Amino acid sequence: MAVVHQSCVGYGAEPFASLVAGYPDDDVYPPGDFRTEWGPIFHRGRLDGSARVLVLGQDPATHEAISRRILVGEAGQRVQGLLAKVGVDTAYVMVNVYLYSVFGQAAGSRHAKDALIADYRNRWLDALLVGTGVTAVLTLGDLAATAYAQWVKVQPAAAASLHLVAVRHPTYPEGFARASGKPLAETTAALLANWNEHLPDLASHVTPEGPTNLTPYAATWGPTDLAPIPEADLPPGAPGWWRGVDAWATRDGADAQTKRATISVVVPKGDRTWPAL
């Protein structure tokens, strides 16, 4: 009973209240290319101006569609670990290039320059980057770098005081291994080498809120390289395992139609705290 739970207070304050009231829908995001049926997923992290790093990700996936916050699944845990290395445990805010999950490999690139998608995203970036405590922008993957460049073009003065660190996307190892046929061990090593390369630069442009650990990554994920999502990032009452490193949400279905329609939510084995059934 003495436990005090933290949670994300949501979007009650402006400009976020207006942003979540006026999100672009199927008319801007074609449902052939985006899973608009799961609704937009907006952000994760601090909206009160206390963020020191803005993370720009790509698009939400299954864990995000259920938890209603971005970068919560494995990709999110990898980024959380990267931020922890530079001493940032909660002083970040994350948004994605796209509000909806990309459907199919090529769809993401196809809409990289869509003006209406960029307009709405830029309103979020304005809110999070102009006159806030953010000093560094961490883009994950090419689409995020492209999206940030679009914002820089319209806000050159604000961008001039921000430091850009553009790294490979946290799911690059899986994606590129699948696309190229290369072994996952090789693509994982390539990602971690890329992150190592940018780690000092990120560290030198962010004031840490806690201890830093700039030991480079090894050639494979180590036991502490993934970090769980802070309780404060999810809505009130969200189960603890929604923030854990074990996967808990998967697309499921015998055919393409059913698979697009279905997300199966399964409490991880280690979190089944009930008496044996």
Minimal distance in Å, beta carbon 253 to its own copies?
9
Q: CA 118 to CA 221: how far, in whole Å?
A: 34
Per CB under 8 A, does 274 bind its own copies?
Answer: yes
Is 29 a binder of its own copies (CB under 8 A)?
no
Q: Which is nearer to its own copies, 65 or 192 (CB)?
A: 65
| DSSP per-residue codes, 193-216 | HHHHHHHHHHHHTS--SS----PP
Radius of gyration of the chain (CA): 18
Peptide bond into 15 cis (omega under 30): yes
Choose the stretch contacting its own copies; rule: CB under 8 A; options: 21-29, 167-175, 184-192, 204-212: 21-29
Compute the residue count for the chain.
Answer: 277
AA identity, residue 60: P
Q: Which stretch binds its own copies (CB under 8 A): 154-162, 168-176, 202-210, 266-274?
A: 266-274
The residue type at 253: G
CB closer to its own copies out of 39 and 208: 39
At 219, is the secondary structure helix, strand, or coil?
coil
- Which residues are 126's β-sheet partners? none
Residue whose pair of structure tokens reads 């799961």 in the numeric block: 38
CA atoms within 13 A on the CB side of 137: 27
31 contacts its own copies (rule: CB under 8 A) = yes
Dist. CA 23–CA 38, nearest whole Å: 13
95: three-class secondary structure by DSSP: strand
Report 227-256 residues binding its own copies (CB under 8 A). 235-242, 252, 255-256
| 20 is a contact residue toward its own copies (CB under 8 A) | yes
Q: x-or-dash pattern for its own copies, window 41-70, by CB under 8 A?
A: xx-----------------------x-x--
CB of 27 to its own copies, least distance (A): 7
Interface pick for its own copies out of 105, 207, 261, 270 (rule CB under 8 A): 261
Could you give phi then psi for residue 45, rounded to 5 degrees?
Answer: 110, -160
Q: Out of 15, 50, 103, 198, which residue is the one contacting its own copies (CB under 8 A)?
A: 103
> Which residues bind to its own copies, rule: CB under 8 A?
1, 3-7, 9-12, 17, 20-28, 31-32, 35-42, 66, 68, 99, 103, 116, 235-242, 252, 255-258, 260-267, 271-277
